[in-house]
Structure 1
């Protein structure tokens, strides 16, 4: 098999979506509608928190990272998918493919790490309310946010660096968008280190993620059961339910993706559907969950639109 250049001029071919001709335009409209909903909902959450100084508290300043992360993931994938659907254009440069994979994995890792930081914030607020202001200072909050993005960036840069060591010997990407497993399949060299590191990263993040969520919310639950103030208990539970719903959505979509890759009998079409589902469902549901479940944000969103109208 001819060895391909690993330079930026290498053109790869993506796997098609297998949409019948009569379904192209409905699928494109559905994809465009989904992307517009993701953009609108997440931008509303971001701008509502950013423009209202009363929401400049640790919980909301951590929360704002989640829609930013969701927008990054959706924007990395959906425009390319819609272009592929509308023009049946399945070619992509190697540089663009690696860039797309980088942002996709940043999105996946960032989702877990941001939720860990948010769970920690709720743990301190509910289990140590008297010390919350002293612990969650602006400097400490900045350190947490910086740590989340630096850890995420470091993990994914190593993943990409391990991939870029090799020249390509194939040009067909067996997925509808670029990710690390699909790119590793383009290499004919020994990729055991890549596979070990990828598995290590997934397992490490998952163990830390699930353990942190389980421990913090178990402590929160015990604290709420001991709390005799019904108003405080209700507010704490309402806030935590939103976080737990997002956690469950992320875990279920992540598990579906892993199983679709690991199960050899899984159909290629199912793998495509699951892959697209991961990009569309969490970024759509997260802002809706927080916008509807968290009273502080829900009450501020109408004020945001009134402010926009008054400006114009």
Structure 2
């Protein structure tokens, strides 16, 4: 293994020692923690950036921590999840990928310290110099501190890893579940004295500066609190500083545990477990500590989970939540509410969205189901794209074209589902959206729908060439052709949708209620009291051209493919045609049926609730269906998924 078994640039990772009985539980536990870390940290960043009351230096600086936690968890956890099902002989990584991972791992660790240092400075100014806080902690200061935290860490780690990759290599085994700097210079037989000196200096400077700055800062804060008899000040200091200190202590303890275990080679298995747990649990720990202990964020999370309204000065005149819900559902508003919405309370740029009619017993199951489906869409579609791009045997025109579908499905689901999930937990008066955001969402919704058709058309062309002109397939479907077809599919859809939405945003508005769960083109031009004849004409023409061209091309193509299959006695050809074309047709038929159902329901206002459900399901089910059909019905992808979960060896081009 150390000499000739592996390719020149391929290394072998030592994984965690997990028994066959505990592999699946370990995988599920790691996956759930990773999903929690992603969802919680992303949610915190979105919550802070979208809530004006949280646009304070403390929370904006904390966004650095959440972004870094997402980055840190994503560097290591997916890699370990992949390797946990592989036998030790198949845990390969390219040297370049190893160096990048080592850089990212140390960047994550360094940024954690530098961000905690600038957060400590913010708390010092807030508590020790409250009157100067607004003048010191300006937006420019926050940006400068954030930039400094990342730049200092980036520069220090670049030198650290750079000193390691300059060395020649005489070993191939990484004694760790993932790559770090020690793993890199451990591959060399040269003198690593410079690496040790710089690494020790970096560790001393980083830990020393963070420990000293945090200690001095909190000693000064402690002195101020002891001298002050202001209970409110002391309570606030304890609340905000306690969370910060808890995270910092956890970070220090975990780092010291790993450093200590490095000194005992006989405890390498414990060190591996500790390093993995540190990379996985710290991001989740930060999200819990800051999300549940900081008052303003905790209030908003409680409001979301219990559907309680946070004080909003614009909504003081609204009635009880029950009456608000019924009034929206029945399209009737109390005079005060109607005046507020249509005139001045929401302003010309603020619109209100309608909601799904859900009972109090069913909205939590609906929320959980939608969230799980969205997570599945993200994981499955991103997983398929990564699998196709990382596997040379799958880098064929059919699969590369399918990547457009997966990317579009991820895009389409992300436009709608997070928005619907948020609105499920809000009361009617809080389900607001800016007109600009509404127009952008409408553009994205129609772009997703249009690209679904154009991508299926180019995938149809690929199947036609593969089956009807197999000898010319390699010369026709080159990489340049695939790139050109993909670019055409997105560009044509982009131009058509830009004109469609552009015709709607030019209109003046006399209404403020969007008669849908999310914004689309029909919702936009219905806000106007002007003539929408041009919109209807172009919209009808756009639909006819898009559906007509897709139906016509798909029908003609598959008729020709059917003729070729019927005239051919080659069972292998017919079997392959049935396998690849059936998946394509199934997706296309579902796309057409769902589209026609929504268009039909638009013609019956009394079925508005059914239309809302159908429109959401269209954006939820299709991405799931695409991932399942293409992921499980295409032979090569199915084999690789089975290899991951059943520990079967798949041939590697690099071995």
Aligned partner of 2:528 in structure 1 is 187
Aligned partner of 2:405 in structure 1 is 66
What does residue 370 of structure 2 align with? 31
8 Å CA contact retained: 2:351, 2:514: yes
Aligned pairs, number: 304
Residue 168 (structure 1) aligned with residue 509 (structure 2): yes
| 1:110 aligns with one of 431, 434, 451 | 451
How far apart are 1:161 and its partner, in Å?
1.2
* Local SS of the residue matching 1:166: coil
Structure 2 residue runs without a partner (length 5+): 1-338, 650-655
1:183 and 1:226 map into 2 onto residues whose CA distance is 51
Task: Say whether the 8 Å CA contact 1:127–1:223 is kept in structure 2.
Answer: yes
Q: Which residue of 2 aligns with 1:310?
A: none
Q: Is the 8 A contact 2:356 2:613 kept in 1?
A: no
Partner of 1:121: 462
Partner residue in 1 for 2:631: 291
**Alpha-carbon shift at residue 207 of structure 1 (Å):** 0.6
Task: Tell me how far apart the structure 1 counterparts of residues 642 and 535 of structure 2 sit (CA, whole Å).
Answer: 48
What is the alpha-carbon distance in structure 1 between the residues aligned to residue 610 and residue 426 of structure 2?
Answer: 23
Q: Following TM superposition, by how much is the alpha carbon of 1:304 offset from its aligned partner in structure 2, in angstroms?
A: 6.0
1:122-176 Cα offsets, whole Å, 9 max, x none, are 0011000111111111112211111101001001111121112122111100001
Deviations 1:200-235 (A, max 9, x none): 111111110100010001111111112222112211
Asked whether the 8 Å contact 2:602–2:611 carries over to 1, the reply is yes
Range moving further from structure 2, 138-147 or 71-80: 138-147
Per-residue deviation, residues 258-278 of structure 1 (Å, max 9, x unmatched)? 1011234x4111111111111
**Structure 1 residues 1-312: aligned runs within 5 Å:** 10-88=349-427, 89-264=430-605, 266-303=606-643
Structure possessing the higher relative contact order (Cα contacts under 8 Å, 6 or more residues apart)? 1
Residue in structure 1 matched with residue 175 of structure 2 by the alignment: none
Distance apart, 1:300 and its partner CA: 2.0
Report deviation, 1:87: 2.4
CA distance in 2, matches of 1:257, 1:78: 17
Distance 1:36 1:3, change over 3 A: closer
Q: Distance in 1 between the 2:617 and 2:362 partners?
A: 18
Give the Å deviation of 1:302: 4.0
Structure with higher Rg: it is 2
Following the alignment from structure 2 to structure 1, what is the Cα–Cα distance between the partners of residues 352 and 396? Answer: 46
Alignment root-mean-square deviation, CA: 2.0
**TM-score, normalising length: structure 1:** 0.93
- Give me the whole-angstrom Cα distance separating, in 2, the residues matched to 1:172 and 1:55: 48
Question: Structure 2 CA distance, aligned partners of 1:135 and 1:10?
Answer: 50
Deviation at 1:9, TM superposition (A): 6.9
Contact 2:507 2:530 in 1 (8 A): yes
Between the aligned partners of 2:474 and 2:419, the Cα distance in structure 1 is 44
Q: Contact conserved, 1:119 with 1:216, CA < 8 A, in 2? A: yes
Task: Quote how far apart the aligned CAs of 1:280 are.
Answer: 0.9
Q: Secondary structure at the match of 1:112?
A: helix
Q: Distance in 2 between matches of 1:280 and 1:290?
A: 16
Q: Is the 8 A contact 1:31 1:78 kept in 2?
A: yes
1:24: how far off? 2.1
**In structure 2, C-alpha distance between the alignment counterparts of 1:245 and 1:269, rounded to whole Å:** 27
The 2-side partners of 1:3 and 1:32 are apart by 33
Q: CA deviation at 1:90?
A: 1.1
Structure 2 length-normalised TM: 0.45
Q: Deviations over 1:47-87 (max 9, x none)?
A: 11111121111111101100111111110001010000012
Checking the alignment, whether the CA contact within 8 Å between 2:401 and 2:486 is kept in structure 1 is yes
CA distance in 1, matches of 2:587, 2:416: 21
Cα deviation, residue 22, structure 1: 2.3
- In the TM superposition, what is the alpha-carbon distance from 1:281 to its structure 2 partner? 1.1
CA contact under 8 A between 2:381 and 2:410: conserved in structure 1? yes
SS at match of 2:440: helix
2-structure distance, mates of 1:51, 1:36: 22
SS of equivalent residue, structure 1 residue 87: coil
The answer on whether the counterparts of 1:224 and 1:237 sit within 8 Å (CA) in structure 2 is: no
The answer to whether the 8 Å contact 1:38/1:284 transfers is yes
Q: Contact 2:342–2:512 at 8 Å: present in 1 too?
A: no
- Between 1:208-217 and 1:220-229, the stretch displaced more is 220-229
Runs of 4+ in 1 over 3 A off after TM superposition: 1-5, 302-307
- Is contact 1:4-1:169 (8 Å) kept? no
